[in-house]
Chain A
Amino acid sequence: MTDAIAAEPRRPAGAIARLLQRKLALLGLFLILVVVLGAVFAPFIAPFAPDDQHFDGLTIEGAPLAPNETYILGTDLLGRDLFSRILFGARTSLIIGVVANGMALIIGTLVGITAGYFRGWIGSVLMRFTDLMMAFPALLLAICLAAIFHPSLWIVAIVIALVNWVQTARVIFTQTSTLAERDFIAAERTLGAGTARILFRHILPHLVPTIIVWGTLGISTTVLLEATLSFLGVGVQPPTPSWGNIIFENQTYFQSAPWLVFLPGAAIILLALAFNLVGDALRDVLDPMQRGRD
């Protein structure tokens, strides 16, 4: 999502300054910063290596430990420190949630805007292909793609982007095709404006709210899709942690050790919320109708 928006700012200084005046936006930025710093400095912050199975990390019966002094968030089913795993997992999840999701948004926006503006055979071909992708089970496709390429974090990110752009493309297509009918686009064409100018200077700004909404929704869906793929063995390979696969690995302990599912789940929600707060504020800041209401 960040890339699609970065192309847009009209007067960056003013927009950023106004963004920083909003408390909720600041909160969102702060949360994102916390996650990013946690991911980057994970080796220095984490009390243990994420893959170490500790002898004292399980009860006598072999059940995970609840949060305690040594393991502040408890341990998982293999006796690994949950806090360390969540910290290292942030790296994977950030890459999936931001890069894979961002790529999906860019592909979806480009396909939607092209099909919506040009219509004709280009539009038909693109949208029929989008429909095909939508009808095809995303998981099956992801498994196929992941099986063909050797699974690694970046391959997983690309696979997720390739199955996740369809909804965005559909929505952007509909919006673009109504925008393209509006008089101000006709006015631009009579002025002699080129296609690139019309698409990126006059249509894209109107799509920003939609792109932001799909971008924030996409964070949780992509993070969870990655977890599903990992669970099926075609995602991030164990023992590399990600928020999604921590949930999946531990779901059998949901009854006896709910924190194992709850804490990484909360991390995903927090990340999505943070992007949502920033996205909302960004949408308002970029909307000229909202000016003067800060």
Chain B
Amino acid sequence: MKPAADAALKSRSGADLAPDAAPVLMVENLTVSVRTDEGVKPLVRDMSFGLRRGETLCIAGESGSGKSITSLAIMGLLPPPAVRVTGGSIRLGETDLNTLGEAQMRRVRGDRIAMIFQEPMTSLNPVMTVGTQLAEAIRAHDDVSRSAARDRALAALKSVRLSQPERRMSQFPHELSGGMRQRVMIAMALALRPEVLIADEPTTALDVTVQREVLDLLRDLQRDTGTAIILITHDMGVVAEMADRVIVMRDGAMVEEAAARALFSSPRAQYTRDLLAAVPRMGQGALRPPVDNAPVARLCDVVVRFPIRGGVFGRTTHLVHAVEHVSFEIRKGETFALVGESGCGKSTIAKAMVGLVPHQGRIEIGQERLADMRGAAMQALRRRIQMVFQDPMAALDPRMTVGGQIAEPLLIHGIGDSAERRSRAADLMARVGLTVDQYDRYPHEFSGGQRQRICIARALALNPDLIIADESVSALDVSVQARVLDLLRELQVEFGIAFLFISHDMAVVDNISDRVGVMYLGQIVELGTRAQIFGNPQHAYTRRLIEAVPVPDPAFVRPVLDRLTGDVPSPVFAAGRGPKQVRLADVGGGHLVADGVE
């Protein structure tokens, strides 16, 4: 293995690097294959890299590039019996991991190599308290007493900066938020001071501000312990922030290996250049003329609350205040973006607008009030407002052909005969970049991006005035995401459709929106044109969201952020109580900002 170009003595976390010492982990010519009916197919080909103490190596790539398979191969966790290492070696210090049996491998796992996964909830045992799980993990490797293990567990929770660590010890995983759970996972992984930590998309399921905290935490812990980290991610922003060295993978092979700065400043491979070009960046959106059309939808003082029933008689004891007094309008042909973190109520607004959840207040589509609609009028209204969901695989019926699903809205609304519907659906497929001969295929035969195109075609079938895109590009790879966003833009110009674009990704929102509403805990705290929100953010929460976005540039120096004290407050209140309502004040040019900044 050749040494990295800029063999600094310090890694970016500040941990000491030992440039001459043998690497902790050495992977040489690793090939992993899957046995299928058609023969043995390689999933990862000829991977070679070394990892030094205190170093962070990022393996970046899109879905299916083999980055997770590589990490599972190192952990000896490849799904048996079909997937196996068929060539090369993985050496941890002096040990060749490939030659170890399962019993010996179990000693290595956790003790010398630890791993954290994307979804912390599925990695934690839901029926054991956090403290017990941590102590058990420690006792599995070190022969210590119960109380000593508990002490070490508590120390581990403190080291990941979990608020109220004593209380967390006796709590169950479901009582913690996503960010807290990921911290517990990190505490568990690092409690045994492993030489290598493999983090597989550790922040992908987290909100940006929480992601920020978790990345900071990983960096601080690395500085203190000198653990070598392999960080697997699809997010080039995360790569830029964390990596000392980067490996870009595609279709199971290494495309490029370089020091982080070199990779971003002068990528050598064409694929790396394409990948970097596709990453949405803040401040990149083209200037769009202001849209001053009549509104296609207007929300006025909309409130959505969900009751939580408790007690013997199922009385409503608490209310989830999902949406509180939200007002905005969407004009014809514009893209209105709602941004905010999970649980802020942005998706609930979408559901209320299509009648999936009951609401109070006033939602007008066109000039008509949604709540008054029944039967035929409601059917007519449905034609004007369509929705594209986050996960296209979940939003398509796996047991129906895609052509049938694109034609289905026409069938439901009794438009045309069967031949006309078929030809209209075929036209739509062609319009969104699919081919007509895919008409009779099923959703599982398509890639993620193609599936989202199918959903878009289905939403277009009825010529709606408004399409609600609820996190519609969040689950897609960046290159695919860029193409789907292009498609949405083209369709907007072509058909004059308005979009309600719901997203947590500030960079994407900055690229495609005309106006933006920022939501926090069920209320809009800032609302204005894109230029107003991104050029002159007024509310503290808006600023925090913008600043938390990972910037795909390793040279970027991040302003120091106040660490969040505790968690995002809960929108659940006892019956009869509720959150304090914010008042929006105009600070000029229709830029509305909530007073009482917290």
Contacts and interface: CB of A to CB of B under 8 A. Distances in A.
Interface of A: 10, 182-184, 186-194, 197, 201-202, 205-206, 286-289, 291, 293
Contact of A183 (B383, B395, B409): B395
Nearest to A201: B400
A202 B394 CA distance: 13
Given A197-B412, A206-B399, A191 B444 contact: no
A121 to B, nearest CB: 12
B183 interface: no
B37 to A, nearest CB: 8
A136 B462 CA distance: 51
A183 B452 CA distance: 13
A188 B455 CA distance: 11
7 contacts: A184-B396, A189-B354, A191-B408, A192-B383, A192-B412, A289-B398, A289-B442
B458 A191 contact: yes
Given A191-B458, A192-B409, A288-B442, A183 B382 contact: no
B409 A191 contact: yes
Contacts of B387: 187, 190
B413 interface: yes
Contact of A202 (B356, B397, B413, B458): B397
A183 B444 contact: no
B379 interface: yes
A27 B181 CA distance: 53
Contacts of A189: 354-356
B442 A190 contact: no
Nearest to A204: B399
A187 B395 contact: yes
B382 A192 contact: yes
A289 B444 contact: yes
A71 B442 CA distance: 56
Interface string B449-460: 000000100100
Interface residues of B, number: 32
Interface string B406-419: 00110011000000
A190 B398 contact: no
B394 A190 contact: no
A187 B351 CA distance: 10
Nearest to B392: A183
Contacts of A205: 397, 399-400
Closest 7 A/B residue pairs (Cβ): A192-B382, A288-B442, A183-B394, A183-B395, A205-B399, A190-B354, A190-B387
A193 B442 contact: no
Contacts of A288: 398-399, 401, 442, 444
B397 A192 contact: no
Among B37, B400, B458, max chain A CB count under 10 A is at: B400
B68 interface: no
Interface in B203-238: none
Nearest to A8: B399
A192 B351 CA distance: 14
Contacts of B389: 183, 186-187
A184 B412 contact: no
Contacts of B355: 189-190
Contacts of A186: 351, 356, 389, 395
Contact of B412 (A194, A286, A291): A194
A191 B444 CA distance: 21
Given A187-B395, A190-B355, 5 more contacts: A183-B394, A187-B387, A187-B389, A189-B354, A289-B444
B408 A184 contact: no
A199 to B, nearest CB: 13
B46 interface: no
Nearest to B386: A190
Nearest to B351: A186
B408 A193 contact: yes
B397 A184 contact: yes
B391 interface: yes
Contacts of A194: 412
A193 B386 CA distance: 13
Among B383, B390, B395, max chain A CB count under 10 A is at: B395
B294 to A, nearest CB: 23
A95 B442 CA distance: 38
Among B394, B399, B458, max chain A CB count under 10 A is at: B399
Contacts of B395: 183-184, 186-187
A291 B398 CA distance: 12
A192 to B, nearest CB: 4
A118 to B, nearest CB: 15
B471 to A, nearest CB: 11
Interface string B366-409: 00000000000011001101110111001111111100000011
A51 B442 CA distance: 56
Among A192, A286, A291, max chain B CB count under 10 A is at: A192
A192 B394 contact: no
B469 to A, nearest CB: 13
Nearest to B391: A183
Contacts of B442: 288-289, 291
A253 B226 CA distance: 79
Among A184, A188, A206, A291, max chain B CB count under 10 A is at: A184
